[in-house]
């Protein structure tokens, strides 16, 4: 969608082919018994400038919420609570106060944070050797205990990289902390959609695409991309063939491989990491928190989705987001709902008196690539071996993790490259220097 809008805004004729009956890809919603559940709790940060521009472009600025100032309640069983929040001091001192009071770590663990944060800020995230190292090993070398990794570092790493800190690439982890928290005071302020994602990224985006003159064809599974003798491309989707000057393949890696846009080994090398969301509809409100993180609990993050879900008055809809959810992906729905309802009661005593009206689980088995050490070498750039065919997606080499921001940046870059190729400005985009923009 980003690529289509950018190209269309520049005066290019664009056709967007979507295999599903709706737009949005991995960011969508499912309706059950009249209640809307997002397939995953997707958030963005203030530093996600490309995604925020995309939201503005589709006319959805009023449909998202962005914190005025970062504040993350962190819950634990037996009513223990701390908050990670920023103050008005310049970065990185904006976090010092809340980390000094972070009661989920011992005083000694809090004191040792200073050395690790200082060293993390000094890392050169463009150094390719960082990608070969584990963030967990680096943390251990910088005197971070298992408790500190579990109760602090993982709170940021798991939802952003979709792997635990111990399994994460040092390069990607360092990028997340530097760009998202340590370089700018307000970079880590958190935002999310106030409406179901299928409306945000589906309905509103579809209207923006239509207004821009993009031809959107849903239920259109592309089966082949073939080069014609005149150098143009024939894209077959069902019974229809589209003749075009350039093609942007914005699909998962395995689909791109099936279309010949990337080598089949790339998908294997990138791997996959799942995300599971457990949605609980309760017969009463049990918390006034908009969202919260959790430690010493199977729950990772909880989001109040009551307003966007459409539940009946007096009920509350809470969505529990589980990143790097390998251990949960195959667990039956009934078991997940029951176990996480119990876990909710351990964090929020008011939930113990509530009745569970409904429980639902959404799963994305291949939500993102696996951000493990060495993955960076396997993420392809926009260019492919075929002149005029370009790759877009959060799994491509964007300089960002597999996020909505990375997806938008990739789409924008591909739109510029495809237009330049189609206009004859460049013969082969692969000859250009790599452009990675934070």
Tell me: do 224 and 80 sit in the same domain. no
One domain for residues 387 and 281: no
Whole-model pTM?
Answer: 0.94
345 with 314, same domain: the answer is: yes
Let me know if residue 253 belongs to a domain: yes
On whether the CB atoms of residues 144 and 153 are closer than 8 A, the answer is yes
Ordered per-residue pLDDT tens for the chain, 438 residues: 999 999 999 999 999 999 999 999 989 999 999 999 999 899 999 999 999 999 999 999 999 999 999 999 999 998 899 999 999 999 999 999 999 999 999 999 999 999 999 999 999 999 999 999 999 999 999 999 999 999 999 999 999 999 999 999 999 999 999 999 999 999 999 999 999 999 999 999 999 999 999 999 999 999 999 999 999 999 999 999 999 999 999 999 999 999 999 999 999 999 999 999 999 999 999 999 999 999 999 999 999 999 999 999 999 999 999 999 999 999 999 999 999 999 999 999 999 999 999 999 999 999 999 999 999 999 999 999 999 999 999 999 999 999 999 999 999 999 999 999 998 865 444 433 333 222
β partners of residue 363: 276
- Whether residue 382 is found in the same domain as residue 244: yes
Task: Assess whether 206 and 116 both reside in one domain.
Answer: no
Residue 32 lies in a domain: no
Domain boundary among 325, 342, 368: 368
Q: Same structural domain for residues 77 and 155?
A: yes
Tell me the residue range of the domain where 216 lies.
2-27+49-58+202-270+375-431
Is residue 211, in this structure, part of any structural domain at all? yes
Q: Are residues 388 and 426 in the same domain?
A: yes
Identify whether 336 is part of a domain: yes
Residue 3 contacts residue 414 (beta carbons within 8 Å): yes
Per the structure, how many domains does the chain have?
3
**Does residue 405 sit within a domain?**
yes
Residues 362 and 297 in one domain: yes
Tell me, yes or no, whether 438 lies in a domain. Answer: no
* 215 φ, ψ (degrees, to nearest 5): -85, 115
CATH number where 388 lies: 3.50.50.60
Which secondary structure element, helix H or strand E, spans residue 333, and what is its range?
Answer: helix 333-347
Which residue's entry shows tokens 């995309």?
54
Q: Are residues 93 and 175 in the same domain?
A: yes
Beta strands in 4-79 (DSSP E): 15-17, 29-32, 35-38, 43-45, 64-66, 71-76
Backbone torsions φ then ψ of 330, nearest 5 degrees: -105, 0
- Shared domain for 119 and 54, answered yes or no, is no
Residue 436 lies in a domain: no
List the CATH number of the domain containing 114: 1.10.405
418 with 384, same domain?
A: yes
Polymer length in residues for the chain: 438
Listed residues 368, 389, 406: the one ending a domain: 368
Tell me which residue of 57, 80, 55 sits closest to 8, measured CA to CA: 57
């Amino acid at each position: 969608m980003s690529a289509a809008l950018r190209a269309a805004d520049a005066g290019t004729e664009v056709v967007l082919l979507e295999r599903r009956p709706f737009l949005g890809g991995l960011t969508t919603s499912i309706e059950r018994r009249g209640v809307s559940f997002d397939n995953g709790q997707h958030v963005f940060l203030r530093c996600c400038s490309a995604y925020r521009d995309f939201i503005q472009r589709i006319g959805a600025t009023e449909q998202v919420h962005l914190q005025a100032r970062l504040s993350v309640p962190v819950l634990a069983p037996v009513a223990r609570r701390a908050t990670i929040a920023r103050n008005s001091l310049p970065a990185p001192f904006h976090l010092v106060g809340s980390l000094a009071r972070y009661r989920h770590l011992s005083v000694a663990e809090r004191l040792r944070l200073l050395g690790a944060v200082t060293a993390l800020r000094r890392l050169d995230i463009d150094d390719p050797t960082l990608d070969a190292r584990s963030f967990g090993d680096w943390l251990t070398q910088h005197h971070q205990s298992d408790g500190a990794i579990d109760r602090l570092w993982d709170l940021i790493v798991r939802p952003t990289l979709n792997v635990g800190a111990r399994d994460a690439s040092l390069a990607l982890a360092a990028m997340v902390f530097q760009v998202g928290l340590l370089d700018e005071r307000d970079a880590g302020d958190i935002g999310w959609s106030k409406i179901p994602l299928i409306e945000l990224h589906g309905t509103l985006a579809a209207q923006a695409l239509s207004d821009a003159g993009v031809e959107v064809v849903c239920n259109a599974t592309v089966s082949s991309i073939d080069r014609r003798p005149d150098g143009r491309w024939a894209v077959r989707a069902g019974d229809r063939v589209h003749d075009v000057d350039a093609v942007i393949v914005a699909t998962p890696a395995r689909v791109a491989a099936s279309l010949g846009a990337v080598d089949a080994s790339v998908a294997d090398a990138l791997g996959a990491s799942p995300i599971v969301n457990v949605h609980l509809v309760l017969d009463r409100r049990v918390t006034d928190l908009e969202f919260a993180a959790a430690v010493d609990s199977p729950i990772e993050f909880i989001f109040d989705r009551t307003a966007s879900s459409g539940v009946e008055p007096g009920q509350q809809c809470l969505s529990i987001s589980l990143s790097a959810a390998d251990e949960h992906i195959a667990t039956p729905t009934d078991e997940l709902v029951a176990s996480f309802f119990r876990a909710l009661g351990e964090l929020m005593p008011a939930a113990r008196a509530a009745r569970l009206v409904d429980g639902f689980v959404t799963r994305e088995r291949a939500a993102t690539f696996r951000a493990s050490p060495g993955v960076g070498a396997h993420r392809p750039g926009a260019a492919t071996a075929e002149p005029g065919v370009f790759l877009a997606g959060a799994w491509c080499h964007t300089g960002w993790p597999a996020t909505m921001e990375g997806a938008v940046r990739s789409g924008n870059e591909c739109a510029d490259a495809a237009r330049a190729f189609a206009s004859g400005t460049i013969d082969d985009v692969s000859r250009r220097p790599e452009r990675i923009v934070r």
